[in-house]
Amino acid sequence: MPIEIFYTVVPLVLVLGLFAFTARDQTILETQYDDPDVSIVAIGKQWAWDFQYNGDDQDGSDAVWTMGVQAQPAPNGDIDQASLPTLVLPVDKTVKIELRSRDVIHSFWVIDFLYKKDMIPGRDNQWSFIPTREGTYAGKCAELCGEYHSAMLFNVEVVSEEEYEDYLDTLRAAGQTGDITQYDRNSNLPGTGGNTADVVGTEEG
């Protein structure tokens, strides 16, 4: 009897303790900022990422964006880091990212941030946080999403507020403005690194 009680009570205490810590931390991580300093839409697609930096206009006309292609390996297998889609964030600012998918289920994972979240077609997920240290951080899709899933990589660059604003200005100067979230299907040419999105922002469905 004592041994049976011990092997029943101890696991129960451990499970309840782990559940309590998990519930506490998950509540903190899932709390969304209502008025963040930075509002971004991250869009997963086979097999790359699009990032839209929202402005103040509800119709997205003052937003700026980048569209990415999947990782391009060199003959020796090395990945060209400069060609990866890059999400730029200002340090010590509240950030809210809306997570969407253009096609199948993906998962947004910034490895050093120790957190990942699914991107499900037809359902928008959100993630709010404050990046506190400048640097470059690796990200990838954590949900098997097709043939080139392993090439669905991206980087996150946490920079000063001045560098962040300068980056947005370069996107405006390049004409990468407006709302890209209505373009439903990916613009990638699978396996080639090409891009067919010459009319991004105007095509729907």
Alpha carbons 124 and 108: distance in angstroms, whole number: 12
Amino acid at 142: A
Tens digits of residue pLDDT in 115-152: 899 999 888 899 999 999 999 999 999 999 888 898 89
- Written as one letter, the residue type at 15 is V
Residue 197 has pLDDT above 80, yes or no: no
What b/e sequence results for 176-192 when a residue is b if at least 16 CB atoms lie within 10 Å of its CB, and e otherwise?
Answer: bbbbbbebeebbbebee
On the question of pLDDT at 183 being above 70, the answer is no
Count how many residues are written for the chain: 205
Q: What is the per-residue pLDDT across 84-119, written as a single tens digit (0 to 9) for each?
A: 999 999 999 999 999 999 889 999 999 998 889 999
**48-68 per-position pLDDT tens digit:** 999 999 988 777 778 999 988
Q: What is the DSSP letter of 31?
A: P
Spatial separation of the C-alpha atoms in residues 21 and 19, rounded to whole Å? 6
Q: What is the mean pLDDT of residues 158-162?
A: 95
pTM higher than the cut 0.85: no
Let me know if 88 is exposed, middle or buried by CB neighbors in 10 A (0-12, 13-18, 19+). buried
pLDDT computed for residue 2 by the predictor: 82
Mean pLDDT of 27-41: 86
